[in-house]
Amino acid sequence: MKNELISGGEIFIRSLKDHGVGTIFGYPGGAIMKVFDALYDYRKTLHHVLVRHEQGAIHAAQGFARSSGEVGVCLVTSGPGATNTITGIADAMIDSTPVVVIAGQVSTDMLGTDAFQEIDLVGVTQPITKWSFQIRNPEDVAWAVARAFYIAKSGRPGPVVLDFTKNAQIEKAQYRPTTIDFIRSYVPIPATELGAVECAAALINTAQRPLVLVGQGVELGDAQKELLAFIEKAQLPVACTLLGLSALPSNHPLNKGMLGMHGNLGPNVNTNNCDVLIAVGMRFDDRVTGNLATYAKQAQVIHFDIDPAEINKNVPVDIAVLGDCKETLVAVTEQLVPTRHAEWLKTFTSYEREENEKVILPELHPTNDHLSMGEVARAVSEATAHKAILVTDVGQNQMMAARYFKYTQNRSIITSGGLGTMGFGLPAAIGATFGRPDRMVCSFMGDGGLQMNIQELGTIMEQKAPVKIILLNNNYLGNVRQWQEMFFEHRYSFTPMMNPDYGEIAGAYGIPFKRATTREELQEAIAEMVATDGPFFLEARVIEEGSVMPMIPPGGTVSQMLLEC
Amino acid sequence: MENKLYTLIVHSENFAGLLSQVTAVFTRLQINIESLNVSASSIEGVHKYTITACTDRNNIEKVVKQVEKKIEVLQAQFFTDDEIYSHEIALYKVSMSEFESQSEASKVVRQYNAHIVEVNPVFAIVEKNGSSEDISALYRELSALNCVLQFVRSGRVTIPKSCIEPVSQYLNDRAKEHTNKKKK
């Protein structure tokens, strides 16, 4: 019926379906009941994943978005339901993840009265969203959803919040399917200047020692193939940021490894040896640059980015190539002269050898009986033929997994990079299993971060979400412990942590469990984990005082990495 | 880099809640806003913010980019004082007894081309339109004569000296893009 009047709640659900949404992560509550009531009629085609805490919902939506490239959707109630998503919204903002959070809100006539479960959600989330909007009447619902999806996904992606008042959910209006692909005040992709493309190509053509820094922008822009053509034509060595690790296969000869505080020696040192630094879709985070006063001062810098605000933000840039890197990389590649840079490429080898001897081999083949974090990560990566999606929590588990996993496919690392949110890993992994049901999802956790959102084991149980949990248990908040060891004279202030019996916990949730203390047990447990259909919980009891190396100490210079602590 | 007074002109859609987003950019970059003036612009439905702040060029460039990222902001631009013509208005409430007893006082008012807009037995109100400097200078002179009871000043109204109206240009370009997009 064309002119039928339906509730704002139903308009909302139909709008979601019309925007291709198939999965929602949420938690009901008083101020969002009308939407949940409407959802009940659509539950067969719109799958709602009931999480155990709203923080789980937002991180799951992030995991969904990061794995699939689609917008993640999170549905919660007002007040505490909404504030519980704040950490994830901030996380999505700093890591450019497209999510739409819909939160209930008290009725319009109650706004500003400190009503039950009322908070000024738009006010609270404005600084940490791309867009935040309050829906106050049912006629605006379809428009607001259309705008939210367009803004979240276009240009540099990011989180959008819709604050949905109760009366707008209940009151009726006609549903007019709406899509938006133009907002006059919003330019998602800035125009590329032809001159910038020419200058960039000319500079790269004259470079003797070029180095390409690849960030998540390449994955977000779906420009992995374009990147490959670009670097291969002029034989440009590449270093990846944490979030950009799977933009280029790990085994590609031009992939020289990871940048940053716990990255690889070669790319970090050579950042201060290169003559032209070519940043693509990355934002010169301080964990990548170390001390800016000594960062790449010798180099001319070219920056490809979709966000003009990233240009000259941290590192002064000589040539800015604005635009979509899927197009700008092609335009620059066309003007590149095939080159070899053989001498320059060779310089990475000695650093690789040094890091291998002093760090990597001892980590992968420890001479003592304790399992190392790195060997667990590598073993899991190998057992999955390097094809799994790696989800990590934050801390040593994150750095070790990122370093020792190998990546063969795009969008294979989901980790909280900018915000560094402990508790991210478990719910994000749940989201990833829905975003890419065809791929295995391995979630590396520490004993600290696992317990920050451990309630989501309930979601895994209920959804039978095939998350492979790999707990690197060292009975410490390991990363902080490492800093205390290195910079605070071994004063282990509140980093030792008493742990529960994780076997019993996994058992209570009906999740198959294996504990590994020895190498034999580890191999057996991994084999069983990979062969198991559905979720699995592998607890690796790793060396207690293991450290992530190499390291650029905080405030240090990229070319002066510590190889031993 | 040297700190100086910059004037930021922002054009935006008329959208509730945008002002706090714009000012939050200054706060985050640790820049104090010296004056702020928000009003409807000459273009229907478009609002104009005129904000002055003391900072360096690097920071004001960052402010512009961050402000432009707000979805409903059409355009943000910064200017130095030599690139704009700007005016403020100020009101000085002066004590009638002090004012009348010193002939110097009304001379100063005339010198500065200010007007007396209200007179009663207790006080008079002097109004001055002009540059920030003139307004401050008049305040200093009247204060020296001990007759100022109250003093208020507005934010700036500013018009760039350049003949191009960039926001109209922007809106035209966007309208064209929209038409082309539809055709495709």
Query: Rounded to a whole number, what is the distance in Å from the CA of B160 to chain A's nearest CA?
Result: 21
The whole-number pLDDT of residue A102 equals: 98
Q: A residues 339-398 near B, CB within 8 Å?
A: none
Torsion angle of C-alpha atoms A470, A475, A479, A480, degrees rounded to 10: 150
Least CB–CB distance from B71: residue in A131, A181, A182: A131
The DSSP-derived string for A75-102 is EE-STHHHHTTHHHHHHHHHTT--EEEE
A433 membership: H or E segment, kind and range:
helix A425-435
Query: Angle at CA A324, nearest 5°, toward A318 and A330?
Result: 80
Report how far residue A99's alpha carbon sits from residue A148's, in angstroms, rounded to the nearest whole number.
9
Least CB–CB distance from B181: residue in A182, A187, A307: A182
Report how far residue B165's alpha carbon sits from residue B178's, in angstroms, rounded to the nearest whole number.
20
Share of chain A above pLDDT 90, in %: 99
Q: Residues A370-403: pLDDT tens digits?
A: 999 999 999 999 999 999 999 999 999 999 999 9
Do B145 and B105 touch, CB atoms closer than 8 A? yes
- Indicate whether A503 pLDDT > 60: yes
Least CB–CB distance from B12: residue in A131, A182, A185: A185
What is the overall mean pLDDT for chain A?
97
The whole-number pLDDT of residue B164 equals: 83
For residue A78, count CB atoms less than 10 angstroms from its CB and return exposed for 0-12, middle for 13-18, buried for 19 or more.
buried
Q: Is B24 helix (H, G, I), strand (E, B) or coil?
A: helix
Query: Rounded to a whole number, what is the distance in Å from the CA of B109 to chain A's nearest CA?
Result: 45
Q: Which residues of A85-97 are buried (b: 16+ CB within 10 A; e: fewer)?
A: bbbbbbbbbbbbb
Q: Are strands A536-541 and B46-55 parallel, antiparallel or unpaired?
A: unpaired
A191 touches chain B (CB under 8 A): no
Report how far residue A151's alpha carbon sits from residue A397's, in angstroms, rounded to the nearest whole number.
33
Do A95 and A419 touch, CB atoms closer than 8 A? yes
Over residues A51-67, mean pLDDT: 98
Spatial CB neighbours of A310, under 8 Å, sequence gap ≥ 6: A283, A284, A303
**Torsional sign, CA A275, A279, A283, A287:** negative
Q: Residues A242-283: pLDDT tens digits?
A: 999 999 999 999 999 999 999 999 999 999 999 999 999 999
Q: A residues 450-509 near B, CB within 8 Å?
A: none
Tokens of A428: 């994000």
CB contact under 8 A, B17 and A151: no
Tokens of A34: 């009308």
Full set of structural domains in chain A with CATH: 5-174 (3.40.50.970), 194-348 (3.40.50.1220), 369-541 (3.40.50.970)
Those residues of chain B that have pLDDT short of 50 are none
A123 touches chain B (CB under 8 A): yes
Report how far residue A429's alpha carbon sits from residue A62's, in angstroms, rounded to the nearest whole number.
9
- Indicate whether A432 pLDDT > 90: yes
CB contact under 8 A, B20 and A123: yes
Query: Rounded to a whole number, what is the distance in Å from the CA of A182 to chain B's nearest CA?
Result: 7
Tokens of A73: 């959707």
The whole-number pLDDT of residue B6 equals: 97
Query: Rounded to a whole number, what is the distance in Å from the CA of B87 to chain A's nearest CA?
Result: 28
Specify the DSSP class assigned to residue B184: -
Instruction: Enumerate the β-bridge partners of residue A302.
Output: A278, A319
- Indicate whether A114 pLDDT > 60: yes
Specify the DSSP class assigned to residue A190: P
Q: Residues A210-223: pLDDT tens digits?
A: 999 999 999 999 99
- Indicate whether A469 pLDDT > 90: yes
Report how far residue A237's alpha carbon sits from residue A232's, in angstroms, rounded to the nearest whole number.
9
Helix pair B103-111, B132-144: axis angle to 10 deg: 170
Q: What is the ipTM of this complex?
A: 0.93
| A186, A189, A284, A315: best to mutate for the B interface, most B CBs within 10 A | A186
In this structure, how many other beta carbons lie within 10 angstroms of the beta carbon of residue A483? 16
Tally C-beta pairs within 8 A across A and B.
46
CB contact under 8 A, B24 and A126: yes
Q: Which residues of A touch B172 (CB under 8 A)?
A: none
The whole-number pLDDT of residue A256 equals: 98
**Torsional sign, CA A64, A66, A71, A73:** positive
Over residues A321-348, mean pLDDT: 97
CB contact under 8 A, A182 and B28: no
The whole-number pLDDT of residue B183 equals: 86
Full set of structural domains in chain B with CATH: 4-84+158-164 (3.30.70.260), 85-157 (3.30.70.1150)
Least CB–CB distance from A313: residue in B21, B24, B62: B62
Query: Rounded to a whole number, what is the distance in Å from the CA of A424 to chain B's nearest CA?
Result: 26
Q: Which residues of B touch A184 (CB under 8 A)?
A: 74, 171, 174-175, 178
pLDDT confidence bin for A2, thresholds 50/70/90: low
Tokens of A131: 């867009």
The whole-number pLDDT of residue A1 equals: 56
Over residues A548-559, mean pLDDT: 96
Residue A272 region by backbone torsions, left for phi larger than 0, else alpha for psi between -120 and 50, else beta? alpha
- Indicate whether A484 pLDDT > 70: yes
For residue A543, count CB atoms less than 10 angstroms from its CB and return exposed for 0-12, middle for 13-18, buried for 19 or more.
middle
Cα within 13 Å of Cα(A132), Cβ side: 20
Instruction: Enumerate the β-bridge partners of residue A76.
Output: A103
Spatial CB neighbours of A149, under 8 Å, sequence gap ≥ 6: A19, A71, A100, A160, A180
Instruction: Enumerate the β-bridge partners of residue B148.
Output: B94
Q: Residues A127-143: pLDDT tens digits?
A: 999 999 999 999 999 99
